[in-house]
Structure 1
Amino acid sequence: MTDSDPTALTVLKERADSGDPDAIDELVELAAERGDLAELRRLADRGSSTATDQLVEAATERGDLDELRRLADAGSVTAGDRLLELTTG
């Protein structure tokens, strides 16, 4: 599936919103490929640890301390670790 087909993307989002783990994984992959941080945040906020991991990676690469703080406050141990590394290392 590519994100060039808006109908397929809509169906994929509907499946993900219904809790389909395969659809969630596919959306995370698509969002990560295109750098869609808003979609990754949406998926992470809905409980996708894979989306959270992708956000932590992106935030670490950008040195985005606010995003890492937000993720750490939401319970991501990895985000907390990266935040500590960036602020003390």
Structure 2
Amino acid sequence: MKRQYDFSKGKRGAVIPPTGKTRVTLYLDDDVFKTFRVKAELEGKCYQTMINEVLRKSLPAKDLSPVTVDDLRQIIPGKS
């Protein structure tokens, strides 16, 4: 083992970068939490995954941007 190590290029934080998930602290009503835990156990899933699925279903469709002229040109064949 070295007597001294060089940490001048070291970075704080997780060694492995996050992969599309964010850790949050969330307070749920007891009955809601218990319901998800029981249902998850019966289905052999993780209750966190089930809560995430329900939240995802409640989100609006991914692409709600207005249709542009360029979009129409791709959809409708005709003169450019």
Instruction: Specify if TM > 0.5.
Output: no
- What is the TM-score with the length of structure 1 in the denominator? 0.22
Structure of higher RCO (CA pairs closer than 8 Å, 6+ residues apart) = 1
Q: Which structure carries more helix by proportion?
A: 1
- What is the TM-score with the length of structure 2 in the denominator? 0.24
Between structure 1 and structure 2, the one with the greater Rg is 2
